[in-house]
Amino acid sequence: MIGFPKAKINIGLRITGKRGDGYHNIETIFHPVDLSDALEIVEAEDETTDDTITVTGINPGVGTTDNLVIRAIGALRQKHNIPALNIHLHKVIPAGAGLGGGSSDAACTLMTLNRQFRLLLHPSELRTIALELGSDCPFFINPVPSYATGRGEILIPVMPLNKEYFIILLNHGMGINTKEAYDNCKPAIPSENLLDLYNRPVAEWKDLIYNDFEEYVFSKHPLTREFKQVLYDSGALFSSMSGSGSTVYGIFDREPDLPGEITKYIIYRGLM
């Protein structure tokens, strides 16, 4: 079976508190974008008991044994009999980019195996397993635009953005360590609920919706700050860093012209 794990952007990301389990509570909007990896999983034809995985495309950023696809298979095997598999993962979504690529790959693996081997797991069961793999992984079990709280696993569907909006993603190729980003942010309760702000016109978001990771990441990688300013200078209605970085996106009401020196950093451009 072949699946196409989608990327997501974060529209706003507030760190609202440190939890007793070592994680952080957040408030964010997860919104899918049409940037996808490709994942093929087939049952091994020989008598081997070992999985094989090949990874092509851009550098996935992790070794084979650390790949979330392999971890997702292992999580299902704890309760289900799944034979040896041959896996091919083609990476298009950069690692450490704040786009959820690894989590999306893992969620796609869970859903693919659930169908392929008729495990009959309910989406809520898949989300429980997904949460063991990553805080944003449950979102990708059914990646519809969602208001997320808790670790990111408490999801309330929201209206998608207008499909006529144009979005550009810029990435400089330097991944951001998520733990390091969290360690350099101070949790606080926002004065306004993000869901209320999201429901306002996109053109009003600029001075209302924030990503708490931006200050730290911008200080460490000034090019990300430059990306945001260039996108606004090019007519973006709203621009922000996604997740803990390093991707910066801009939402436009038309296809923009970007300065030539910036275009080499584009990893996706298209309609929402």
Q: Which residues contact 187 (CB under 8 A, 6 or more apart)?
A: 15, 16, 17, 18, 24, 25
Residue 125 backbone phi and psi in degrees, to 5: -70, -40
Catalytic, 8? Answer yes
Q: Considering 6, 8, 91, 228, which one is annotated as catalytic?
A: 8
Catalytic, 186? Answer no
Say if CB 58 and CB 94 are below 8 A apart: yes
d(CA 253, CA 165): 5
Amino acid of residue 220: K
Residue 47 backbone phi and psi in degrees, to 5: -90, 10
Say if CB 32 and CB 7 are below 8 A apart: yes
Q: Considering 91, 136, 212, 228, which one is annotated as catalytic?
A: 136
User: Where in the sequence numbering do the catalytic residues fall?
Assistant: 8, 136
